[in-house]
């Protein structure tokens, strides 16, 4: 038995009747979660899907889903993340491409067009999460026996999670996270979250609010870190200002997390300070934070905003602000994502040569940590500065991904969707700064000779069939030609300037 499984078992058995997870005012006990996990394990074992089995889950923020995540990670199986916010055909195609040993989801997702049909053609085990404490799980009719001879039912090289990092068109992009790295990161966080090395687990009175989607690594780690610290969890199915504020009031939370876009929504909603009176700190991550917003939040509510930085490939947080650091070093370190976490190392290197740069110089960020185990440096796509006190500053991305409110938009995927219109010859997509979301995609396109340009609304209506809402450009403009570099590539700086002018003063 792994150390993670051992600790999970101890925590869940401390007091099975104690409240563990809340959704909309209804509590699940530790015993309820244990029963669901055991039901899952019995179904998987009965189908021959033991250690290393790849189980794809249509993840939604529910207590039952939390129990599934915890059981899969602690039973040494491989969690394959599926994003149910994808269109029906994309989600079904994802299942077909992945060929997991089992697929699990809520009834509402199994009822969507093409999902059961594709799972049946794939030959996997199908499991319905009912969210009923008495009968928490049942088999999808006709999907009771996986075809282990042809499915890619088992993970390779001790992979614990196949993490979906973006909801883009075509084959979803996933990063394999090693089981040993996940376990080490979670166990480290358990110590950081209130325990001591070697201390026996115990249940704590504080509640942790988890509103990051379980389809994102931040949501999974927020859940695991809270559970491993023995804390109760309040789950939000999705972020809304009222839902978030109500949870803070209901549980008198000391700390609450929200991405920068959500903090902007909270600020713009002018939430009365007395509704957030219990808070000692905001935590934020997943996207760049505007220092002006952080200062405005602190001025209005008297609550510091503590940013952190993580990378999916890193299987955990790389850097972050503590309250002690904030009191000692802010505003001198304003704009930083915090100090590199204990047990982690960071360096900034020249993008061309890979040579380490001196403190204060900008280059590509590389990370390594004990929990990764192999001692190698992991190169990110983030441009960064590391100062002499080990505070990290993220300055942008070396790739062309657009981070819209914490969601990654790859321009190439949007371009392909726009160019599928028969009247469009060529398109290009860039990001423009946005006060609330950080950045938003905008597009320019050139019409084919002899064709009439589609209207902006016509294009947006078409894109809704193939893209997620956050991928659709906020503006699409017809151009006579796309601006070019001498090598005939589209010049992104010039395109931003052209589209920026058209948005401010449309023709």
Q: What is the mean pLDDT of each run of 10 residues along the chain (507 residues)?
A: 88 96 95 96 95 95 96 94 90 94 97 96 96 90 91 84 59 76 78 56 92 88 92 94 96 92 88 97 86 94 94 77 96 95 92 93 90 78 93 84 87 90 92 91 93 95 93 96 74 90 66
Distance CA 385, CA 395 (A): 7
The sheet with strand 232-235 has its strands ordered as 26-29, 19-23, 232-235, 207-210
C-alpha torsion 155→159→164→165, nearest 10? -150
Q: Phi/psi at 203 (nearest 5 deg)?
A: -85, 140
140 SS3 class: coil
Burial (CB count within 10 angstroms: exposed 0-12, middle 13-18, buried 19+), residue 454: buried
Cβ contacts of residue 465 below 8 Å, gap of 6+? 87
CA distance 393 to 312: 18
- Which 3 state secondary structure label does DSSP give 242? helix
* Full set of structural domains in the chain with CATH: 28-177 (3.40.50.12780), 184-397 (3.40.50.12780), 402-504 (3.30.300.30)
Three-class secondary structure of residue 282 per DSSP: strand
CA 286 – CA 273 distance, rounded (Å) = 25
Tell me, what DSSP letter sits at residue 333? T
**Strands, E assignment, 370-405:** 378-386, 391-397, 402-404
Predicted confidence at residue 496, as pLDDT, reads 93
Rounded CA separation 284/260 (Å) = 6
Q: Which residues are CB-contacts of 366 (< 8 A; sequence separation ≥ 6)?
A: 346, 347, 348, 349, 377, 378, 379, 380
How many of the other CB atoms lie within 10 Å of CB of 255?
Answer: 17
Report which of 37, 156, 43, 184 is spatially closest to residue 102, judged by C-alpha positions. Answer: 43
Residue 373, pLDDT score: 64
How far from 198 is each of 152, 191, 359, 448, CA to CA, in Å? 38, 9, 36, 68
Asked if the peptide bond before residue 331 counts as cis, ω within 30 degrees of 0, the response is: yes
């Amino acid at each position: 038995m792994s150390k993670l499984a051992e600790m999970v078992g101890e925590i869940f058995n401390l007091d099975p009747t104690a409240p563990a997870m809340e959704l909309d005012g209804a509590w699940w006990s530790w015993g309820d979660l244990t029963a669901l996990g055991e039901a899952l394990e019995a179904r998987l074992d009965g189908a021959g899907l033991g250690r290393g089995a790849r189980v794809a889950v249509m993840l939604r923020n529910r207590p039952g889903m939390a129990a599934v995540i915890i059981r899969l990670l602690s039973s040494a199986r491989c969690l394959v993340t599926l994003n149910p916010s994808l269109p029906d055909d994309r989600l079904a195609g994802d299942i077909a491409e992945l060929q997991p040993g089992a697929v699990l989801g809520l009834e509402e997702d199994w009822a969507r067009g093409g999902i059961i049909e594709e799972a049946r053609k794939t030959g996997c085990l199908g499991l319905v999460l009912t969210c009923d404490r008495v009968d928490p799980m049942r088999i999808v009719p006709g999907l009771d026996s996986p075809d282990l001879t042809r499915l890619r039912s088992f993970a390779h090289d001790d992979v614990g999670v196949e993490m979906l990092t973006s909801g883009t068109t075509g084959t979803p992009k996933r990063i394999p996270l090693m089981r040993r790295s996940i376990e080490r990161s979670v166990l480290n966080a358990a110590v950081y979250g209130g325990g001591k090395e070697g201390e026996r687990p115990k249940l704590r009175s504080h509640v942790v609010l988890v509103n990051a989607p379980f389809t994102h690594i931040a949501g999974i780690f927020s859940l695991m870190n809270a559970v491993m610290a023995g804390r109760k969890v309040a789950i939000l199915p999705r972020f809304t200002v009222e839902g978030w504020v109500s949870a803070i009031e209901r549980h008198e939370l000391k700390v609450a997390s929200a991405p920068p876009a959500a903090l902007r929504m909270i600020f713009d909603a002018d939430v009365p300070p007395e509704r957030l009176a219990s808070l000692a700190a905001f935590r934020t991550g997943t996207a760049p934070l505007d220092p002006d917003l952080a200062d405005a939040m602190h001025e209005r509510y008297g609550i510091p905003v503590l940013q952190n930085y993580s990378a999916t490939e890193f299987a955990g947080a790389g850097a972050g602000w503590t309250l002690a650091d904030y009191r000692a070093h802010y505003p001198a370190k304003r704009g930083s994502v915090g100090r590199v976490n204990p047990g982690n190392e960071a360096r900034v290197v020249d993008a061309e040569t890979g040579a380490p740069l001196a403190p204060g110089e900008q280059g590509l960020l590389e990370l390594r940590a004990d929990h990764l185990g192999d001692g190698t440096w992991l190169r990110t796509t983030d441009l960064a500065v590391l100062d002499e006190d080990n505070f990290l500053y993220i300055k942008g991305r070396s790739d062309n991904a657009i981070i819209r409110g914490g969601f990654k938009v790859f321009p190439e995927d949007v371009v392909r969707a726009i160019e599928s219109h028969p009247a469009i010859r060529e398109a290009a997509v860039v990001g423009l700064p946005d006060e609330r979301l950080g950045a938003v995609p905008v597009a320019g396109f050139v019409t084919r000779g002899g064709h009439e340009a589609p209207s902006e609304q016509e294009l947006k209506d078409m894109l809704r069939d193939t893209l997620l809402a956050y991928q659709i450009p906020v503006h699409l403009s017809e151009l006579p030609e796309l601006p070019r570099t001498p090598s005939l590539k589209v010049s992104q700086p010039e395109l931003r300037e052209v589209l920026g002018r058209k948005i401010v003063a449309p023709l």
